[in-house]
Each structure stands twice: as C-alpha cells, then as structure tokens.
Chain A
Amino acid sequence: MLVLGIESSCDETGAAIVKDGRYLLSNVVASQIEIHNRYGGVVPEVASRQQLSSIIPVIETALDNAACSWEEIDAVGATFGPGLAGSLLVGLTVGKALALAKNLPFVGVNHLEAHIYANWLRKGTLPPEKDSAGAPWDFNEGDPMFPLICLVVSGAHSELVLVKGHGQYELLGRTRDDAAGEAFDKVARVLGLEYPGGPSIEKAALRAEEELLQQKKPVELARSAYRLPRAWLRGTYDFSFSGLKTAMLHLAEGATANQSPPKTYEAGKNSGTVNRQRSQYTHIGMQAAQKGSTNVALLAASFQEAVVDVLAVKTRLAAQEYHVKQVVLAGGVAANLSLRARLEQELLPLRIRLSYPPVEFCTDNAAMIASAAYFHLCQGEQSGLDLDVQPGLSLPFRKSE
C-alpha cells in the first residue's frame, strides 16, 4: 500500500511516499531554519505563510522522486496536531483536498505518534521484491518489538511512553515545564548559538571535547566543567528542565557581568555574586575562565550532559520496571549523538535493545506521517473531511489497567 504523507506542524514542510508504512519511496522536506534563525525561534505567522508557499512544490517533488503517479497512491495522511494552528491548517487542508480530488481515503495523523512510528521506517532498504501482501501488516522482520518504552523528546515534548501494541500508549512521565528541545533552544540563545539549539549545542560540546583531547586531558572533564542542577523528581518518571535553564542563565549573566571570572579566590571576597558564581565552577571551568575564554563550549558540554543524564537514567529505570526488551527514541532530540551513546551505555548491560531512527526521520518529516497513517488504515481507521486541526493534541493515552 502506498501512502502520501504530508507534514506541516511547525516550520518544516514535508511530503513523502511510503510503501507499507516502512519502505521509503521519497521523502522531501523544505525547512525554514534560515528564516527563523534570525528571530531565535519560530514566528508562527511567518511559518504559516512559508508553509503555503512550499507545500505544493514539495508534494510535486515527492511524487516525482518516487516516480509515482496519482493512480498508484492508495491513501493520503496529514498531520492534524499538535503544532502551530496556522501551519497545521495548510497541510491538513491540502491533504483533505487531495483526498477529495483523487477520491482516496484520508487519515489525520497525530504528529507525536508519527514520531514513534519513525522507528518503523527503513533507511536505504528497498521494498521486498515479492509482493509483501503475504506479510502481516502489524509485524515485519526488523520492526521494533512490543512492549517497548519510547522516549519522545522534541522541541515541544518530553515524554516517557509505554507502548504495548499498535495504538496502545500509556503515559509514564512527562515534562513539568520546558521540553528538552525547548531547553536546548533557549540555552543556545543565551549562549549566542544558532537556532535550532540542539545541533549547535552538540557541536559546541564536541568542540570542547576536542580541545581537551588536544591538551591530552580526559574528554569527560568538559561535561563536568560546571556544576549544574539535575531535577530527578524521584518516584516519578517526570522531567523538569526549567531549573537547569535558569542555572545556565545565571552562569551566562555572571560571565558577562565580569568578563574574566575570579582569577583568585581573593577576588571573590568582596561581592556575594562572585562567590555564588565561583561555587558553580568546578576546577576545569575555573581554569578555562582564567584563560579568558568565554566558555561557551564548556557551558554547552556541561548543559548537554545534565539533560542527557536525566533522560538516560529515567528511561533505563522505566525499562527495568516494565520489563521491556526494547527502548526506542523519537523526536528531534533523538538526533543527539550524546543521548544515543549514553542510553546505549545504560541499556546494553541489561540486554535491552535500543533503536532510534536515522537523523532525517528524527526531525519533522512526512515519511513518519505516512507510516503512522498506514498503521491506522490497517486497523480500519479513517478521518472525515471535517477533521479540524488540534494544536494541543497529545498521544491517545489509555489508562493503565
């Protein structure tokens, strides 16, 4: 079955054609990052206008790349939430209009669920030669195995979800304030790094580690250059990143207030603020400060470590409690290599499989929308043409038994 997926929830316009929810025929994404970089975040009205300009050319390119005609398409899927209302409206309306024009079944897709289904997509694997009609829709060789724990981490969401089967989600924990990706974006802005914050903080952290490597020092020092708080919220699987964000803000403010932080301990005697700041430096941070560098790379490395630490440990704890054999990552932050490596480290001794989508399926894309739409269609679910956008949609959680 060929599904045309359309994604327009935020600042990426995507169209993709996916066979049987797994095999990619084409995946086109038009990003607006350069435009929004200027403002340090997405401007909703600008994003909506750009969505409308890009969407038809993107769909045409997806059809061309897949070398596929309308007659071969079996269904249309489009994101209906969560996201920015104006952006969602464009993709959803286009999706519904295409389904109407071509008399195809239409499925509205939950963007969060689609992020989870990104784990079902194969990269570079062609659809099986023989007709795949023989294989059952719900399991093919290489699919993730239920039950599994999914860590959804993106610019708007940080959730730990227990997935017992297709469409069966149970919420274990979620962020109480900022999402992980949001924290990355905001901290990047404070540090003067580019939007989106995730990749630029990761790059800066790598630079810090390379620098230490050249000095023949252990790279781990970069990650503990600053003492940053971690909100463990013990007894729950919830997250909180706003305290960490504030700590970063104070550190950065301290660094600008006196361009070269205390050279000696005497310097800190007179003022309370310098004292407080000093307490947040560990030895390596202090050394870097003395050399007069602005420490952006070290700050980024320490911040990334603090986020990854909490995410990885809590995911491991959940995996142990619910005895799952597999953990999957979803969402833009799943592209972070440090998070992947750390989770691998946590889960490997427990013989729990970790899988994550290739980077291009972690960030917003339409292939995952097509995949999620396929699994809904296989369960006999379709949407009407009167489907409305739901900017505040969450995963369709079931109460735990």
Chain B
Amino acid sequence: MLLLALDTSTRQASLAICTEDELLGEYTWHVGNNHSVELLDRIQRIVVECNKTMQEIDVVAVATGPGSFNGVRVAVSAAKALAFSLQKPIVGVSTLDIIAAQQQHWHGPICSIIEAGRSELYAACYTFDKTSNSNGDIIYSMYQLSDYLLLSPQQLASYLQEQAGTWFGVPGKRELPVFLYCGEISPASRQALFAHMQEECAFVNSLQSTRKASVLAMLALQRLHDGKEDNPMRLEPLYLRRPSITTSTRKQPLLGGISKRPPGHSPTGPSETEREEGALRH
C-alpha cells in the first residue's frame, strides 16, 4: 500500500511517500508562506524520484491543523483533490498529534504546542503506552488526555497543573509527573511556561520537534488499520480559532426602510443558520 502524506500546517512543511514497511522518500523544509507554490511541485518531484506514478497512490494522509489558516488549507485542499480524483481514501490527522507522536518514547505526559499568534498557543496533551506483541514488536498507543486547546501560556500552565491531579493523581501523593513540551514554541512562550511550571516541565529543542511527514504517515496507517478513514467531501481542517469579525458602527444602515430582516434573523430557517455555523466552525 502506497501512502502519500502532506503537512503544510506552519512555516515548516513536510511530505512523505511510504508503504507500511518502508519510507520511500521524505522532504521536510522551511516553506515560509509559499505553501501552494512549493507543495504541488514537490509532490510531483518526490513521486518521480520514487519511480512511482500518481495513479499508484493508495491513500492520502494530511495534517489538518491547527496552524496557519492558509497553510493548513493548502495541504487539506490538495489532499482532498488528490483523494477525490484518484478515488482513494483520505485520512486527516491533527498536527498536534503528529508533534506528540514524535516524542512517544517519553514516559509521562506530553504537551504538544503550536504558536497561535496573539500570544496564544494551540495545545493538546497526550500520553503513550508501550506494549509488545507476541512477535516482540514494540507498539506505542497514543492516548489524548485533553481537548485541542487554544490558551495563553499562563492559562495552559494552570490548566495542566489543575488537570494533572485528575490524570495521574495517586491518592495521598502530591507529586506530579513532568510534562514534556514539544512543537513550535517561541522563546517568549517558553519563558512564560517555564516560569509557571519550573521543575514540572521539560522542553524538547525545536530542531528535534520538527514535524516529519513520515510520523504523520505512521499515525495515518494506524487509523486506517482501525477503520477510521475520512470522507474527502467532508474532511475539514481543525481551526480552533473562529474568524475574527469586527462590526463597525459606520457600517450600520442609516435608513431601515426596506430591509425587513432584523440582524440575526434568518428567513430561510435552519438551513442558513446551519451553513453559518459551518462557516464559523472551530
């Protein structure tokens, strides 16, 4: 089974082509804001370099964010179009899951982070279980402890300290596990988190937590194995943040003569509300 994995969630992009057993090719590069310019070209190149054709691809995996809105949309658009036209399954994986899965050897909670701008962070918390099967293969299973969050560094630190007790608390013991922070963390956020958590946290250096599409491919294969594939018609990015809409007073109508529509009222009934909610979906 040939899998193509795409990730352009942030300024860091990665794409990989692999089978269940073997990585055939992988590019991980700094894409800046050139997501659409560079992604398609590189897909074409990697497929040729691996001596494959587009028609041979069996599954498309894509990082669904959170991250840069436009960046995430480029990979998701491309993946949806490829899966739709090749009539192959698509698997969406959250970018935060990919970051966490790269640190699966850590014994303890992992908090993966992406800068969300405006001094906020996208974050999620995970823990991994290590087991081995009868053949002696090590199997890591991922458990997501928290929702996908959008919080300031201070809020995140308090949230984790609060939740740690319920996640790992042993009655009578006050000691908490050390959280491993990984992902794209700015120096300012790092400082804020460290100030709050001190010895309860450790940071993965940013070079080591660069996202690799081969990890996305691995997670996608697991999901595919569990029968959790997505619909290319309906797959949506994980935005986490609503579009910011400012209403200006200058834009309010001065004359209300003809418009029979009070703001917020929908003449077409639930269908419009539904569509709007769709548009504003997190």
Q: Which of the residues A35, A46, A60, A96 comes within 8 Å of B36, measured between beta carbons? A: A96
Contact at A192–B36, with CB atoms within 8 Å? Answer: no
Which of A222-230, A251-259, A268-276, A349-357 lies on the face that meets chain B? Answer: A251-259
Q: CA–CA, A297 to B258, complex, Å?
A: 8
Q: CA–CA, A256 to B254, complex, Å?
A: 7
Contact at B259–A56, with CB atoms within 8 Å? Answer: no
Contact at A52–B76, with CB atoms within 8 Å? Answer: yes
Interface centre among B34, B36, B44, B276 (most CB of A within 10 A): B36
Contact at A48–B70, with CB atoms within 8 Å? Answer: yes
Knowing A38-B276, A86-B73, A101-B85, the reply to whether A46 touches B256 (Cβ < 8 A) is no
Q: Which of the residues B43, B76, B272 comes within 8 Å of A34, measured between beta carbons? A: B272
A side interface size, CB within 8 A: 62
B86 lies within 8 A of chain A by Cβ: yes
A153 lies within 8 A of chain B by Cβ: no
Q: What band does the interface of chain B fall in when counting residues whose beta carbon is under 8 Å from A?
A: 35 or more
Q: Which of the residues A34, A60, A90, A103 comes within 8 Å of B84, measured between beta carbons? A: A60
Knowing A192-B253, A204-B258, A252-B254, the reply to whether A52 touches B237 (Cβ < 8 A) is yes
B5 lies within 8 A of chain A by Cβ: no
Q: CA–CA, A204 to B257, complex, Å?
A: 11
Q: Which residues of A contact B207 (CB under 8 A)?
A: none
Q: Which residues of B contact A128 (CB under 8 A)?
A: none
Shortest Cβ gap from B250 to chain A (Å) = 9
B81 lies within 8 A of chain A by Cβ: yes
B120 lies within 8 A of chain A by Cβ: no
Knowing A45-B243, A48-B70, the reply to whether A98 touches B257 (Cβ < 8 A) is no
Q: Which residues of A contact B232 (CB under 8 A)?
A: 56
Contact at A101–B233, with CB atoms within 8 Å? Answer: no
Contact at B279–A40, with CB atoms within 8 Å? Answer: no
Contact residues of B between 34 and 91, Cβ < 8 Å to A: 34-41, 43-44, 54, 69-70, 73-74, 76-82, 84-86
A401 lies within 8 A of chain B by Cβ: no
Consensus secondary structure, chain B interface: helix
Contact at A192–B255, with CB atoms within 8 Å? Answer: yes
B117 lies within 8 A of chain A by Cβ: no
Q: CA–CA, A193 to B264, complex, Å?
A: 15
Contact at A93–B81, with CB atoms within 8 Å? Answer: yes
Knowing A89-B70, A386-B37, the reply to whether A101 touches B81 (Cβ < 8 A) is yes
Contact at B275–A93, with CB atoms within 8 Å? Answer: no
Q: Which of the residues A34, A57, A60, A389 comes within 8 Å of B268, measured between beta carbons? A: A34
A39 lies within 8 A of chain B by Cβ: yes
Contact at B85–A52, with CB atoms within 8 Å? Answer: no
Contact at A52–B233, with CB atoms within 8 Å? Answer: no
What per-residue 1/0 map shows which CB atoms of A280-314 lie under 8 Å from chain B?
00000000000001111101000000000000000
Interface centre among B41, B81, B236 (most CB of A within 10 A): B81
Contact residues of A between 77 and 135, Cβ < 8 Å to B: 85-86, 89-90, 92-98, 100-103
B244 lies within 8 A of chain A by Cβ: yes
What per-residue 1/0 map shows which CB atoms of A46-66 lie under 8 Å from chain B?
101110110111011000000
Contact at A32–B81, with CB atoms within 8 Å? Answer: no
Contact at B245–A94, with CB atoms within 8 Å? Answer: no
Contact at A384–B41, with CB atoms within 8 Å? Answer: yes
Q: CA–CA, A95 to B281, complex, Å?
A: 25
Shortest Cβ gap from A62 to chain B (Å) = 12
Q: Which of the residues B237, B259, B278 comes within 8 Å of A193, measured between beta carbons? A: B259
B128 lies within 8 A of chain A by Cβ: no
Shortest Cβ gap from A36 to chain B (Å) = 9
B195 lies within 8 A of chain A by Cβ: no
Q: CA–CA, A34 to B272, complex, Å?
A: 7
Q: Which of the residues A70, A90, A200 comes within 8 Å of B77, measured between beta carbons? A: A90
B247 lies within 8 A of chain A by Cβ: yes
Q: Which residues of A contact B82 (CB under 8 A)?
A: 97, 100-101
Q: Which of the residues B74, B86, B253 comes within 8 Å of A101, measured between beta carbons? A: B86
A220 lies within 8 A of chain B by Cβ: no
B227 lies within 8 A of chain A by Cβ: no
Shortest Cβ gap from A189 to chain B (Å) = 6
Knowing A98-B81, A98-B85, A192-B257, the reply to whether A49 touches B239 (Cβ < 8 A) is yes
Contact at A193–B81, with CB atoms within 8 Å? Answer: no
B280 lies within 8 A of chain A by Cβ: yes
**A/B interface sample: 14 pairs, CB < 8 A:** A35-B279, A46-B243, A48-B73, A52-B236, A53-B279, A56-B233, A86-B69, A89-B70, A97-B77, A100-B82, A101-B86, A192-B255, A192-B256, A194-B259
* Extra pairs beyond A294-B256, A388-B37 (5, CB < 8 Å): A46-B243, A46-B280, A249-B254, A294-B255, A295-B257
7 closest Cβ pairs, A-B complex: A192-B253, A45-B243, A97-B81, A294-B257, A296-B257, A385-B40, A93-B77
Interface residues of A (CB under 8 A from B): 32, 34-35, 37-41, 43, 45-46, 48-50, 52-53, 55-57, 59-60, 70, 85-86, 89-90, 92-98, 100-103, 189-194, 200, 204, 249, 252-253, 255-256, 293-297, 299, 384-389
